[in-house]
Each structure stands twice: as C-alpha cells, then as structure tokens.
Amino acid sequence: MFKLQSIRAKLTALAVLALSMVALTAIAGWWASEQLSEAARANLTSASAIKHQKEADMMHDAIRSDVLAGLLALAMQDNAAVRTAKQDLTEHVAEFNTALSELQNLPLSDSIEGSVTKTLPALQSYAKAADQILNDALAGRAPDVSARGGFDAAFKTLEDTMGVLGDQIEAEALASAANTERLAAWARYGMGAVVLMAAALLLTISAFLAYG
C-alpha cells in the first residue's frame, strides 16, 4: 500500500512537472510571438510610409510636368491642352496632399512627423506657383521672369524637403528591418534554450524520482 502511494506521488509529481514545463514553453512562445508581431507591425508601418512618400515624390515631378505641358501648349496656342494641363495639376496636387495626409496618419517618429509638417507649406507654395503659371496660360499670357523664378525656387525647396523626408523614412525602415532580424534570432535561440532547459530539468527530476 505504501509502495503504491509512493508510485502515485511520483507520477503526480511528474505530471505537475510536465505541465510546468509545458506552461514555461508556452509563455516563452507567447513572448516571442508578441515581439515578432510588434516588429511586423513596425515593418508594415515602414512599408506604408515608403509607399506614400514615393507617391508624394511622383506627384512632385508630375506637377512640374503639368506646368511644362501647359507652357508648351501655350506656345502652340493649344487652349484645350492648356486646360488639360490645368486639370492634371489639380488632380496631382490633390494626390500629393492625400499622400502626405496618409503619412501623417501613420504612427511615425517625431522627426518624420516634423518633416511632414515642414513639407506641407512647401507643397502649398509650389502648388500656388504652378497654379499661377497655368492660370496665366489659360488667359493666353506667358509667365514673367518673376513667376517662373518663383516656381523653380518652390520646386527646389520642396525637392530638398522631400529628400530629407525620404532619407528619414528609409533610415527608419532599415532600422526596423534590422530590429526584426534581431528579434527573430532571439526568439529562435530563446525558444531553443527554454526547450533544452525544460527537457534537461524534466530528465533530471524524473531520474531523481525514479531512483530516489
């Protein structure tokens, strides 16, 4: 009877130990999963930021193309083409604003948010200069030196601002990717270490219970 109780006690101890090891492994797995999920969200944010920044950069060049197209149409006395250029300008400015708004809605760093904030007035100045030139073209007037110079200066200012923004987003995306790789490595090593420790502990205590 005493021997049976002793065996039962050992089996109970083994069961408790096994459940403890399972719980420990599950906790380690949960921690690794949470860390990797957070890293994945950061990578997704970086990818979205790059996408919207590239869209804004494309619109920066598209607006200049609209102005050049309008001036060419004016030189050719093609009023329909000038109107088309003006419509395209309106659409591209709207898309530019949308891209920046999408960037502002992302959970980005303070430095990137600051650069986006600086980009907005630069875009407004650029769009206003472009709009003035095409409005003159619609009226059959070629832009004067001041208007063209103002447009070129606004283009350069926005280009510089967008360049800083793009560099910041790219740097944070690379840092996020590197952090994900580190977390993935830690997760693999951590899970492996927990499993090995759990197995070693389980074998040690099992042997102690069997021969103790």
Residue 22: the pLDDT is: 72
Tokens of 95: 């898309």
Mean pLDDT of the chain: 84
Provide the terminal-to-terminal Cα distance of the chain, rounded to the nearest Å: 18
Give tens-digit pLDDT for 7-20: 666 667 666 766 77
Residue 206: the pLDDT is: 65
Give tens-digit pLDDT for 12-68: 766 676 677 677 777 777 776 776 677 777 778 888 999 999 999 999 999 999 999
Q: Is the pLDDT of residue 1 over 90?
A: no
Length of the chain: 212
